[in-house]
Amino acid sequence: MEELESRFSPKALEDFALIDRAVGGDEKAYARLLGRYKRPVYHMILKMVRNVDDAEDLTIESFAKSFRSLHRFKKDFTFSTWLFRIATNNTIDFIRKKKLNTLSIENTFTDDDGQSVSIDVEDDNLNPQEEAIRQQKAELIRIFVDKLPPKYQKLVRLRYFHELSYEEIAVELDAPLGTVKAQLHRARELMFEMVRNKRDHI
């Protein structure tokens, strides 16, 4: 313990104590960790994706992943460093998936300067790593969805499993856009409650 005290700040040591309690089954410890870091994680992700809805989604995923792996946490570095690394990697995966994957094809013709011209053709197929990431996220969200009130389940499935935009969901359900946004926001809050209060949900 003295070695940890010499290496880490009081806040980091408090985090270590909370982690020990959480791994031991103390649900309030999970709530404390979430309360400490939800806002900074969200703002970091928001700077990366520049979209409020995506940032909220990715914040949920980041905490769910970190809490699910909390028993493997090593006190070699601070909890915040570990958590932010998980959140950053998860967000990078999301950004990479959103970008167009292109396949370069060399043509047999040249431009006016005699240079070869290449054409980029969109490739909609995910590589094996991206497919694994997609399946992992779907499995993670499915755990939450099955425990949501029925009125939220279809909304969340359209958003997370079918990856529809808010506008597309509004058209699909013939519902006002404002209602869709409000209900999905409430569904996210409920999922945060699951992450925070019920270790068995993750």
3-state secondary structure of 102: strand
| pLDDT at residue 16 is higher than 70 | yes
The pLDDT of residue 20: 93
- What average pLDDT does range 35-62 have in this prediction? 89
Task: Quick: pLDDT tens for 95-116.
Answer: 887 764 433 334 343 344 444 4
| pLDDT at residue 24 is higher than 60 | yes
Q: How many residues are recorded in the chain?
A: 202
Percent of the chain at pLDDT > 90 equals: 14
Q: Does a structural domain hold residue 3?
A: no
Please report, for the domain that includes residue 130, its CATH number.
1.10.1740.10
The pLDDT of residue 138: 61
Q: Does a structural domain hold residue 23?
A: yes
Counted domains in the chain: 1
**CB count, 10 Å around CB of 1?**
7
Single-letter amino acid code for the residue at 88: T
The pLDDT of residue 141: 66
166: tokens are 């808010």
Q: Does a structural domain hold residue 160?
A: yes
Could you tell me which residues come within 8 angstroms of residue 138 by beta carbon, excluding any fewer than 6 positions away?
160, 161
- Given a contact cutoff of 8 angstroms between Cβ atoms, the answer to whether 35 and 193 are in contact is no
Q: For residue 17, what pLDDT band results from cuts at 50, 70 and 90? A: very high
Q: How far apart are CA 145 and CA 59, in angstroms?
A: 16
- What average pLDDT does range 74-83 have in this prediction? 89
Q: Does a structural domain hold residue 84?
A: yes
90: tokens are 């998860």
Terminal Cα-to-Cα distance of the chain (whole angstroms): 30
Mean pLDDT of the residues in the chain: 77
- Given a contact cutoff of 8 angstroms between Cβ atoms, the answer to whether 78 and 8 are in contact is yes
- What average pLDDT does range 179-200 have in this prediction? 79
- Given a contact cutoff of 8 angstroms between Cβ atoms, the answer to whether 30 and 73 are in contact is no
Task: Quick: pLDDT tens for 102-159.
Answer: 333 343 433 444 444 443 434 444 556 555 655 665 666 677 778 888 888 888 888 8
Q: Does a structural domain hold residue 1?
A: no
Host domain of residue 115: 8-201
Q: Does a structural domain hold residue 2?
A: no
